[in-house]
Structure 1
Amino acid sequence: METSPNGMTTLSGVMEVLKERGVDHELRLLENGQLEDQDSGRVYNPQGMKIIRSYRFEGDSNPSDSAVLYLLENADGFIGYIINAYGAYDDYEGDLFDNLIRNLPVEEREF
């Protein structure tokens, strides 16, 4: 989990900082494996996307508070994020999400 004095210790804190930095595109994984921008409805293929940063959150008292935010970038420079709870509270059924994350190249960098 990213921890710093600028509010990036909670999921909402990270989302607020990302918004301040111009990243306000939440992606949702569709059943066909594509990613949809929740605001614009634009659909992206995961090919060409890479994970540039990830943030993991663990709830202090409730396992349902556990989540991971992945910051994704495509070849055109579009940056969006996808959030998923993990464990028993996973947001996606089956292996679709896990396969997506496993197959995306990772280029962790400061953002």
Structure 2
Amino acid sequence: MERPVEMNTLSQILEKLRLKGLDNEIKMTDHGKMQGVGINKIYNPEDLRIIKTYRFEGDSDPGDNSVLYILEDISHNIGYILDAYGMYSSQENAGFDDFLKKIPTADRDMQELLS
């Protein structure tokens, strides 16, 4: 009988990214573009690809709901966007959702990257 895959917490995945040197946060700028904090680059949607999405739900507080997008840029640098989802979104810039929708996706197995 197969054992179910153990779910990781947000902090465990962020720690794995940090240990691999892949903890490059990407945030929305005031100018409607994304900027890599650790990578120090400015991105348009076509410069990025979402390679994995993780959703986390808090046990009792809806404010604990978050989503972690793992991204790869055109230079193959790995980074992430962290956000609460739904009405608790922490993104104040109105263009965030539109920008995110324009980023192509390619769901990739992250086991190799994070193990």
Query: In the alignment, what sits opposite 2:73?
Result: 74
Q: Amino acid of the residue matched to residue 83 of structure 2?
A: N
Name the larger-Rg structure.
2
| SS in structure 1 of the partner of residue 46 of structure 2 | coil
- Whether 1:15 aligns to 2:6 is no
Structure 2: 5+ residue stretches without partners: 111-115
| SS in structure 2 of the partner of residue 108 of structure 1 | coil
For the 8 Å contact 2:69–2:80, the answer to whether it is kept is yes
Structure with bigger helix share is 2
Higher relative contact order (CA 8 A, sep 6+): 2
CA RMSD in angstroms, aligned pairs only: 2.0
Query: In the alignment, what sits opposite 1:50?
Result: 49
Q: Amino acid of the residue matched to residue 54 of structure 2?
A: Y
For the 8 Å contact 1:54–1:70, the answer to whether it is kept is yes
- Distance across 2 between alignment mates of 1:4 and 1:31: 39
Identity of aligned residues (%): 39
| SS in structure 1 of the partner of residue 76 of structure 2 | coil
- Residue 27 of structure 1 deviates from its aligned partner by 1.0
**How do residues 27-42 of structure 1 correspond to structure 2 at under 5 angstroms?**
27-39=26-38, 41-42=40-41
Query: In the alignment, what sits opposite 1:103?
Result: 102
Runs of 4+ aligned structure 1 residues displaced above 3 Å come to 39-42
Q: Amino acid of the residue matched to residue 34 of structure 2?
A: L
Q: Amino acid of the residue matched to residue 91 of structure 2?
A: Y
